[in-house]
Structure 1
Amino acid sequence: MERNAAHRRRHVLLGHCLRATASVALLTALYYLAPLDGGFGILTVLTLVLGLVAFSLLTVWQVSAITRAEYPRLSALEAMATAVPLFLFVFSATYFMLSESLPDSFNESLNRTDALYFTVTVFATVGFGDIVPTTGTGRVLTTVQMIADLIVVGVIAKALFGAMKIGMRRRGGAGHGGPPFVDDEEP
């Protein structure tokens, strides 16, 4: 019986890890394959807003799902592995389109990888060095990302992990001393 439980836990852990990895791979592929040739304009701003709305809706759905999940800790980590890359790719695409339309927006022209690098640099708050926004539009967009980063790191991460705690209490697993990241015994 103990062997079956350990096998099931490993199987569940592997499933969550594979889904998280597949989500990141799919989002990365979509980012690099998406037709982002339209330039920067009202459609780009609308796409950014819709992308952030989609990110918000995904997060609300994930919070709800985590509270009902059989393995809330793993579900919370999987949710972060999906939500954060989506958030970063939305801003990366916007920076890329801005750089394509208005090349003077940054101190150098950005390809998709450069835009992603810049987005992660802003998100990680490590500061600027090699790529910096040089126009008002670039600085406004970067400021919007900085504010959204604070919301993502503060509010959304707290909501996901709060949902995880609710899920753990719901299934009677809070404080049971199991291994980290794996919800130990069955409820």
Structure 2
Amino acid sequence: MREPVTARPEQPGGGRGDRPRLPVPRPGMWATVQAAVRPLLITAGLITAYYLLPLDSRGAGAASVILALGLLGVGLVFAWEIRAIMRSPYPRLRAVEALVATLALFLMLFSCAYYILDSTTTGSFNEPLTRTDALYFTLSTFSTVGYGDIVARSQAARLVTMIQMSCGLLLAGIALRVLTGAVTAGLLRKHSAEPGRTAGTDDGASDGSESSESSDDSGGPGRDVEP
């Protein structure tokens, strides 16, 4: 008679539909402090530069030039941050820094454009803008809370506003998805670079196929033995 086949115990997470969960590195206290302080310093530096730069002396075409070069700079900074996230030992903290820095640069850029546009073209808005007013209008446009006291009137001002709306939607949608993908790639890179680990496993051991085959060849459990 044939011996009953012994059922092998199922390993947790061994199903085809289950993906191995990567161990998330826990940042230390110093790394957490740096991740919290650096975005604040970057934001404070950008705001300080916004209030100190001599924007009043710019010409009529300065707003479009600053806006075009600024958007290119935002794209380059974002691309550099994505690479830094993938190489960082703590990708999630780095992603938070990247999002805050990119958003602050984006908002300051459009604030400069609105302020220069109002200074060089009379009647662009329903009232003269100070730097604080321009920043307030930028935040109102980005947060989509609507307009009340400050409204764009000229065609140029409305064109810049529409550009900010479009770029804001891209920043809130595509950019967040790209950041999420960069975090995942960073975790995979850190996981694969750890010593004693092989691809497709979490504990550095092989997938068990060789051991099961050798067990079957030696007449161990799982092999039908003829009487």
TM-score by length of 1: 0.85
Q: Which residue of 2 aligns with 1:132?
A: 151
Task: Indicate conservation of the 8 Å contact 1:40/1:100, yes or no.
Answer: no
The Cα of 1:16 is off from its aligned counterpart by 1.3
Pick aligned residue for 1:165 from 177, 184, 199: 184
1:45 maps onto 2:74 in alignment: no
The Cα of 1:116 is off from its aligned counterpart by 0.5
Task: Indicate conservation of the 8 Å contact 2:110/2:138, yes or no.
Answer: yes
Aligned partners of 1:124, 1:154: CA distance in 2, in Å?
A: 14
The Cα of 1:15 is off from its aligned counterpart by 1.0
Identity value in percent: 38
Amino acid at match of 2:102: A
1:111 maps onto 2:150 in alignment: no
Pick aligned residue for 2:165 from 120, 140, 146: 146
The Cα of 1:108 is off from its aligned counterpart by 1.0
How do 1:29-108 and structure 2 match up within 5 A? 29-39=48-58, 41-108=60-127
Amino acid at match of 2:97: E
The Cα of 1:144 is off from its aligned counterpart by 0.9
- Give the unaligned 5+ runs of structure 1: 174-187
The Cα of 1:40 is off from its aligned counterpart by 5.1
The Cα of 1:43 is off from its aligned counterpart by 2.8
TM-score by length of 2: 0.70
Q: Which residue of 2 aligns with 1:179?
A: none
Greater fraction of residues in helix = 1
Task: Indicate conservation of the 8 Å contact 2:82/2:182, yes or no.
Answer: yes
C-alpha distance after superposition, 1:37-77 (max 9, x if no partner): 13452232111100110100000010111011100000000
Q: Which has the larger radius of gyration?
A: 2
- SS where residue 191 of structure 2 aligns? coil
- Give the unaligned 5+ runs of structure 2: 1-24, 193-227
Pick aligned residue for 1:18 from 13, 28, 37: 37
C-alpha distance after superposition, 1:114-162 (max 9, x if no partner): 1001001101111111111011111111011111111111112221222
Is the deviation greater in 159-168 or in 130-139?
Answer: 159-168
Aligned partners of 1:131, 1:172: CA distance in 2, in Å?
A: 51
